[in-house]
Amino acid sequence: MTVPNRRHRPGAATILALAGAMLLPAAATAQAVAAAPPVLESEEPFTHKLPALSPHWAFIRGGFDSGATRIWDGDTGKMVGLISTSKWSDLTLDPTNKFYYVSETIWSKINRGTRQDMLSVYDPVTLNLVAEAPLPGRLIIGADRNNFVISDDGKTGYVYNLDPASSVNVVDLEKRKAAQTVELPGCATLIPNPVGGFSALCSDGTLATVALKGKSSSITRTAPFFSATNDPIFGPHVYDRGKAEAVFLTYTGLIYQAKIGATPVIGQPWSLQAAAGLRPGDTKPLDINWMPGGRQLMALHRPTGTLYVLMHMGEFWSHKQAGDEIWVVDLANKRVKRRVPLKDSAENIEVTQDAKPLIFVNGDEGKARVIDATTFEQKFEMERAGGGVISTIEPR
């Protein structure tokens, strides 16, 4: 970002003249000042560069009603940069940390005019726009981490699309051009598949896997393992690239762990509430219990297999209600290790992936908080940080 540097500082002669003016009559003072005009320095344009990428950075979207993604440093509580993302767009971080990618739909006259669907590529040091690639179809979808995912090698992007039924645009990120579109009606919330292609949750209760070979594709599905009518799965799942494992959570609090591959394997579900020593969640009306809720309601610390879930007191279909507690879950042993009350409720949660992790939470008010993931003490509270989804750097 180039910024003019305007510095109008008085020279040494001016300073001496002003000092001497204190000892002179008014007329003499005016003559002394007039005799030594200020020395004006010319504007010096410069470009800020971001410091070395930190695992404690969080990329926080503005929210549904505002654009831009702000980069916050969890060690200082200060903003270090801003990526230009439109209101209805999705940001994803290159797993190789070479670029920041944004899939977006914009209009030439903001809310009307010519529609443009594109993939924008940003430099991670200067945040300058590197390239734009037009995308086919009618995206008009955004503000979700699982709408746009990238293959493990960072070479292929998968962009969820509505045209008008569900489909996925496959993008060659090296050539920066759309390669093909795969029709996938009734499916969404994408997962990069380690053997190539991607997987997606479907409304018939299955997990679809799309294998790509050249310009052709083939689709296979698991047997149905959940009911989208009786107990739906939240769209914002979490995925561990290193283990190729996804974690899904239903509205009543059932956890499914899935091994992602050419033929995904879905584990048996277990109750989050029962793992905390409580009765399982139920679908019965007016049955009040601790239930999961929020928009981005789960975060996974991949090195330790620790899951953080936003929970609230409510009934079935209260899945959009913000969380009043963070439940700390040991996935390997299927138990809740700790329940952390929140001073203010939160709708989005994410955790950094280092040995001393930090938790970021926020909500519609746009205020974000940084919490130590070991002591659970609040470190910072940032005003106007953004109320949208949060991303952190994945482990390498």
Q: Which of 312, 394, 292 is nearest to 350 (CA)?
A: 394
Lowest-pLDDT range of 7-21, 202-216, 217-231, 246-260? 7-21
Q: Which fold has domain 84-224?
A: Methylamine Dehydrogenase; Chain H (2.130.10)
Q: Over the chain, what is the mean pLDDT?
A: 89
User: Is residue 50 pLDDT above 90, yes or no?
Assistant: yes
User: Is residue 9 pLDDT above 50, yes or no?
Assistant: no
Q: Which residues contact 300 (CB under 8 A, 6 or more apart)?
A: 238, 239, 240, 247, 306, 307, 308, 351
What is the per-residue pLDDT for 122? 96
The domain limits of the chain are: 1-47, 84-224
What is the per-residue pLDDT for 139? 79
Q: What is the phi/psi pair of residue 35, to 5°?
A: -75, -20
What is the per-residue pLDDT for 110? 82
The mean per-residue pLDDT over the stretch 365-383 comes to 96
User: Is residue 26 pLDDT above 60, yes or no?
Assistant: no
| pTM for this model (two decimals) | 0.87
What is the per-residue pLDDT for 35? 66
Q: How confident is the model at residue 20 (pLDDT cuts 50, 70, 90)?
A: very low
What is the per-residue pLDDT for 351? 98
The mean per-residue pLDDT over the stretch 139-165 comes to 88
Q: What kind and span of H or E run contains 380?
A: strand 378-382
User: Is residue 8 pLDDT above 70, yes or no?
Assistant: no
Distances (CA, A) of 71 to 39, 124, 229, 365: 38, 11, 38, 18
The mean per-residue pLDDT over the stretch 44-59 comes to 88
Q: What percent of the chain has pLDDT over 90?
A: 75
Q: How confident is the model at residue 48 (pLDDT cuts 50, 70, 90)?
A: confident
What is the per-residue pLDDT for 13? 38
What is the per-residue pLDDT for 34? 57
What are 223-237's pLDDT values in tens digits?
A: 999 999 999 999 999
The DSSP letter of residue 222 is P
